[in-house]
Amino acid sequence: MSTPTPPPADTARASEDRSARIAVTIFPALILAAAAFGFFVPGVGQSLAQFTSIYLGIIMFAMGLTLTLPDFALVARRPLPILIGVVAQYVIMPLVGLGVALLLQLPPELAVGVILVGSAPGGTSSNVISYLAKADTALSVAMTSISTLLAPLLTPLLTLWLAGSYLPVDAGSMAMSIVQMVLIPVVGGLVVRLLAGKLVNRILPALPWVSVAGISLVVIAVVSGSTDAIVSAGALVLLAVVLHNGIGYFLGYWAARLLRQGERAARTTSIEVGMQNSGLAATLAASAFTPAAALPAAIFSIWHNLSGAVLAMYYRRSAEKHRADAA
């Protein structure tokens, strides 16, 4: 008896998953290479800087192409875990960012950068890390999608509230930038997926690489404008990023567990909270403040993919051990 042929959409999704796993594995190395290029060849990086909003728009359009209506239907079927994840995203990370800035007594530009990273929505890398961690990938996609759609409202308000004492924040201008760079491209990608699903299915495996290329270009542009800040405060920013990211993972997990969510949902919330859309944060920081303010987001881009891969391995092994003990 012949084996049933999987539907084209399922085949495309499996191919996309394989491509995403490869992309996220080498992503940190590519981001490190991009950071080194921006640092040692700043002239080229500065010539790229004027197009960072375009790079981010392409990344978010690619994200929109990966979305389907069932991703949003999950919100109606499982509203509580999604609500917990999104609320945790916009409560834990902004406040932890402020706490880290106060603890380390960061200079104003760096403090604003850390807070802005915390106020950003979840990053698309979290979906792949959730898959690798044997968490709930569908839940992760729904959380990322909802937090991204809320970003034009919540990211500027949180940045104004928490970072306004460090530097002036034009929340209205920031909101409009997020609409242009995030909301319109994501919705556009979703519409294209609805209208030309078969064509999009063919290019799904390439989309993770579009995101990798786009974020690499953003990192080159940001680092090239922050070489002096890297030399003077690079280690301090790295410490801030490590603390911010690690505390986000920890509190995200326990927020879900304390609210009686299952292990898979808790792992998903942990990853979703700890991993940020650092490309958006870097672009906003560079345009609304200074290149130095974008440095925390650039370093976060590197670190959260490294830490996310390690966390995925830990969660995966703990899940396998739990199954073995239960057998």
Residue with the larger pLDDT of the pair 3 and 282: 282
- pLDDT at position 223 over 80: yes
How many whole angstroms separate alpha carbon 93 and alpha carbon 98?
Answer: 9
Q: What is the pLDDT of residues 150-164, one digit of tens each?
A: 999 999 999 999 999
C-beta of residue 140 within 8 angstroms of C-beta of residue 320: no
Residue 39 phi, psi dihedral angles, 5° rounding: -75, -45
- pLDDT at position 306 over 60: yes
Per-residue pLDDT, 3: 44
SS3 for 106?
coil
3: alpha, beta or left, given left = phi > 0 and alpha = psi -120 to 50? Answer: beta
Please report which confidence band the pLDDT of residue 314 belongs to, taking 50, 70 and 90 as the band edges: confident
C-beta of residue 209 within 8 angstroms of C-beta of residue 65: no
Highest mean pLDDT among 41-45, 75-79, 109-113: 109-113
Chain mean position to CA 246: 14
Per-residue pLDDT, 1: 44
Residue given tokens 């974008």 in the structure block: 294
- pLDDT at position 16 over 60: no
Domains along the chain with CATH numbers: 8-317 (1.20.1530.20)
Residue 210 amino acid letter: V
Q: What is the pLDDT of residues 115-132, one digit of tens each?
A: 999 999 998 788 878 877
In which element (H, E) is residue 18 found? Answer: helix 8-40
Q: What is the pLDDT of residues 235-279, one digit of tens each?
A: 999 999 999 999 999 999 999 999 999 999 999 999 999 999 988
- pLDDT at position 10 over 80: no
SS3 for 184?
helix
Residue 192 amino acid letter: V
Residue 165 phi, psi dihedral angles, 5° rounding: -80, -15
C-beta of residue 213 within 8 angstroms of C-beta of residue 73: no
How many whole angstroms separate alpha carbon 157 and alpha carbon 175?
Answer: 9
Q: Give the predicted TM-score (pTM) of the model.
A: 0.84
C-beta of residue 221 within 8 angstroms of C-beta of residue 286: yes
C-beta of residue 185 within 8 angstroms of C-beta of residue 65: no
Q: What is the pLDDT of residues 96-113, one digit of tens each?
A: 999 999 999 999 999 999
> Which CA distances in Å does 312 have to 205, 256, 304?
21, 17, 12
Per-residue pLDDT, 21: 61
Please report which confidence band the pLDDT of residue 233 belongs to, taking 50, 70 and 90 as the band edges: confident
